[in-house]
Structure 1
Amino acid sequence: MLYSDELPEDLIYSQIPGCGCEGPCVDPRECACLVRSQGRNYSQAERLLLQLQSPQELLQRPVYECNSACSCRLDTCVNRLVQNHLEDTSALCVFDAGEKGRGIRASRNVSQGEFVCVYSGLYLGPGRARALSASQLATCGHVYVLVVREYAGVDSRLVFETTVDGACDLEDKQAPLPLACLINHSCDPNLTVIPVRVDSMLPYLAFFALRGIRADEELAYDYGEKSCEKGDPSNISRLTCEQIQMTIHKGILLLRNKERVY
């Protein structure tokens, strides 16, 4: 991951406290990282995200993996998944998606709740997203800026906003786009974006499977996903999924946006 100079150093480098576990980190009453996550994150055998298992939990929970300050063993800890597969795109396969341009298919079967890939790129400060998206749209006809907003509390206040430019190397004509940038929008998505924190409060934006996905099926997520219907946590006008679909076809979508309410 790359970080913009405008991001405060304490945001990037301040260490989240670790756990004192000696076992596999499966008990949310004892593991400090699971306490922070308000429960276990992954199944012990398959390493599937429990929040996305059927029946799905009614409430969203933050995801904190164990980190470099933890005393648990790297080879036995169950709460280390995304951090071990940051460069893994083995489940992704590029294909020609017709009028949508390039898209991504599953190279193999994917289980519900399985980690698929990370949206990698340059982390930006708040307020940069819209102008950068407009610039990308004007120069290359696509937008590769992903914004994830997290809300918490009874009043659903904004507590964190993460912005990642997936096309930070776009000026280098020889540099290929990260494959996650090519995952298209759908009103019936099979992926969702989950912020996963490890060492710092700046999370990895990880794609997980909402349901079982067959090999060769196109991978897609909702560019305007709102994870919780508990009121309207912001005063930003929000497009419906169908409206987003239309704006993409017209080439005027300015943001890939995800809202998550805890």
Structure 2
Amino acid sequence: MEPGDVCGGLEALPVPVCGPWEDLCPFQYNPELISGPGADPDPSEVTIQGCECRVQSCMAGQCPCLAQGDIYVNGRVTLPRDTPILECNILCGCSENCANRETQRGLQFRIEVFKVPGKGWGLRTEEAVPKGRFVCEYAGEVLGAKEACHRIKSQHPDANNYIIAVREHLHGGQTLHTYVDPTRIGNVGRFLNHSCQPNLVMLPVRSHSMVPRLALFAARDIRAGEELCYDYSGRSFNTEPEERSQSGEKCEEWGPGPRKRCLCGTGGCTGYLPFDSSLYQEHSLC
């Protein structure tokens, strides 16, 4: 890692470090999801059939990837969102410049890692970000449930927890679980802090694999210089599970466990960071 670019040139834009960069905990930078212990399927495998559109940019009503209607309008995802996001992929016949490939373009806004007083490291934007625009992905190792449980229970109580548990509620009451850990191998998303009143929303996005990429979009217009934050519980900007059928959400529970104080400083602060209590429970997965 270098102070001029924590990404080591692996992103479309450099991400500088503002602060004592030598204090950063070392990790291997990777801009995409990679397969970790227990991952099934492998997120790098192309498993979704592409469209046959021979056009510059696909259109709703004509492209099977846009069966639910337009996802992006002028580069912005429509919010709030209650339908899945399926982008065109490498097998699609459309152009690489298709409007339905928004999150595959990488970083489009200049952001930087900086030291947040009282909170450690964080991420902020150097330029204004309009509502609905893609900001970054939360990438790391995709884990199986047993490995995620093992890792989180092996952590020191005071250590930072980067493991994220995503639950998508499907038809018929089924739930699809995805666990991502950027602790050892990850991208800029690992520097995002929690806020009880966040300016980012996380949405599962699929392109070439059924494993969802965890994309973060501007939940409102964001001013230059603002710290970028999202709600670790996934409840902000999302409907409750019983009110949804196909859409995805990150839903970390608020049960008993090793609670940490929330330092977001917002007026609606709950006082404690959310966490997934299921990963601390003694059950068959662990």
TM-score, normalised on structure 2?
0.70
- Which protein is richer in helix relative to its size? 1
- Aligned match of 2:240: 229
Alignment of 1:126-141 (within 5 A): 126-138=145-157, 141=159
Aligned mate of 2:102, from 54, 66, 81:
81
Task: Indicate whether 1:157 and 2:174 are aligned.
Answer: yes
Secondary structure of 1:246 counterpart: coil
Aligned length: 230
Indicate conservation of the 8 Å contact 2:90/2:208, yes or no. yes
Report the residue type matching 1:97 in the other structure: V
- CA separation in 1, counterparts of 2:231 and 2:223? 19
Shift of 1:196: 0.9
Gaps of 5+ in 2: 1-32, 245-250, 265-270, 279-286
Matched-pair identity in %: 33
Question: Does residue 1:47 correspond to 2:75, yes or no?
Answer: yes
Shift of 1:41: 1.1
Partner of 1:68: 90
1:142 maps to 2:160 = yes
Q: Report the residue type matching 2:174 in the other structure.
A: R
Q: Distance in 2 between matches of 1:119 and 1:221?
A: 11
1:232 to 1:65, Cα distance in 2 relative to 1, 3 A? closer
Tell me if the contact between 1:224 and 1:244 (Cα under 8 Å) persists in the aligned partners. no
Question: Residue 11 of structure 1: CA displacement?
Answer: 6.6
Q: Within the alignment, does 1:217 sit opposite 2:214 as a pair? A: no
Q: SS state of the match for residue 79, structure 1?
A: helix
1:22 Cα shift?
A: 1.9
**In the TM superposition, what is the alpha-carbon distance from 1:5 to its structure 2 partner?**
4.4
Q: Indicate if the aligned counterparts of 2:254 and 2:275 stay in contact, CA closer than 8 A.
A: no
| Cα deviation 1:132-152 (Å, max 9, x = unaligned) | 2233444x6100111211002
Superposed displacement of residue 109, structure 1: 0.5
Counterpart of 1:63, as a letter, is I
TM-score by length of 1: 0.76
Q: Distance in 1 between matches of 2:252 and 2:166?
A: 16
Aligned counterparts of 1:204 and 1:179: Cα–Cα separation in 2: 14
Alignment of 1:230-245 (within 5 A): 230-231=241-242, 238-239=253-254
Residue 183 of structure 1, CA deviation: 0.8
Q: 1:140-219, aligned counterparts within 5 Å? A: 141-153=159-171, 156-158=173-175, 160-169=176-185, 178-219=187-228
Structure 1 segments unaligned to the other structure (5+ residues) = 170-176, 258-262
Q: 1:89 to 1:30 in 2, by over 3 A?
A: closer
Q: Label 1:184 to 1:194 Cα distance change in 2 as closer, same or farther (>3 A).
A: same
